Amino acid sequence: MRPLIDDIGREVPLSPGSVLFTDVLARVLQVVPGDEVIAEPLQGDRTPRTLRLSGTLPELMALWAHMPEDDFAQFLGSAPLANHATLMVDAEQVDAVQHALLDMPLVASAMRRDALIKEFRSEQVETMRTFSLVLTLFAVTIAISVVYNNARVALSMRSRELASLRVLGFTRQEISSVLISELAVQVLIGIPLGLVFGKQLVGLMLSANDPESFRFPLLVSRHTYAIAALVTILAATGSALLVRRKLDKLDLIGVLKTRE
């Protein structure tokens, strides 16, 4: 009822004689499979004992050391022990079972899975959702500002050349295609680079969190990539339309007066 699950949801078997550490715990202790660590029990016979690490497990919660029940009892030199139990209860009897367990003197506490998930979501998910919303708004604002500023700079640097083309007989649509095509090429090159850089930035932010309580895996969905690309494309389209309007106000007379 409590299988070992890795960071991508796969069940990891625990074979007899094996000792698995959470990968973060192994990194904190600076040990690798094959190394030995000294463990001191905190109850009963507290004589330090040696454990040989068999492998690591990329779990997302806390820091754990796993070994089969029989091996653990042999490791402690006592009969099999347990300090908690996982129960599967009929949904209609959950409240009655919880009250009955709390009335037992040997039971310190009784927790419900749905209550734990609800509490976690209320404390963490809402915070992360607000944080993500703020970052998204900043990202959208920056994307629009950068693309529009780039278009304005390109227009400012090429205004005389574009006006000269108008004097030579090019239409507004033709000179617009020159500037907008340049903007389109920049956006098409920048989107893949931005997606790769964004994923690396997310990984850097996740690595800065405290890994001992819980860890968030780095999973960026196609939906997220699509939204990021769409926002950039819409920003580029809006910037192109604004720049297109400014092309109608080019100073053709000033170009005619230039001696170059």
pLDDT in tens, 166-223: 667 777 777 777 777 878 888 888 889 988 998 888 888 777 766 667 777 777 888 8
CA-CA distance, 143 to 155, in Å (whole number)?
18
In a domain, 92, yes or no: no
Do residues 187 and 133 both lie within one domain? yes
Do residues 203 and 146 both lie within one domain? yes
Per DSSP, the three-state class of 174 is helix
pLDDT in tens, 83-140: 788 888 888 888 888 888 888 888 888 888 888 788 777 777 777 788 888 888 888 8
DSSP-assigned letter for residue 212 = T
Do residues 53 and 126 both lie within one domain? no
Question: What is the average pLDDT across 67-85?
Answer: 81
Distances (CA, A) of 157 to 153, 171, 206, 238: 6, 19, 41, 20
In a domain, 193, yes or no: yes
Q: Which domain holds residue 50?
A: 20-83
In a domain, 15, yes or no: no
> How many domains would you assign to the chain?
2
Residues 6+ positions from 158 with CB-CB distance below 8 Å: 179
Which of 52-61, 162-171, 205-214, 247-256 ranks highest by mean pLDDT?
52-61
In a domain, 24, yes or no: yes
CB-based contact 8:216 (threshold 8 Å): no
DSSP-assigned letter for residue 61 = B
Do residues 137 and 228 both lie within one domain? yes
Distances (CA, A) of 203 to 22, 48, 89, 142: 19, 38, 39, 20
Do residues 139 and 195 both lie within one domain? yes
Which of 93-102, 152-161, 250-259 ranks highest by mean pLDDT?
93-102
pLDDT computed for residue 35 by the predictor: 92
**Pairing label, strands 49-52, 55-57:** unpaired
**Helices and strands (DSSP H and E) totals, the chain:** 8, 5
Specify the pTM: 0.59
In a domain, 179, yes or no: yes
Residues 6+ positions from 189 with CB-CB distance below 8 Å: none
CA angle 180, 182, 185 (to 5 degrees): 110
Do residues 225 and 138 both lie within one domain? yes
Do residues 213 and 167 both lie within one domain? yes
Do residues 203 and 79 both lie within one domain? no
- Secondary structure (DSSP) of 213-237: TB-------HHHHHHHHHHHHHHHH
Does the pLDDT at position 258 exceed 70? no
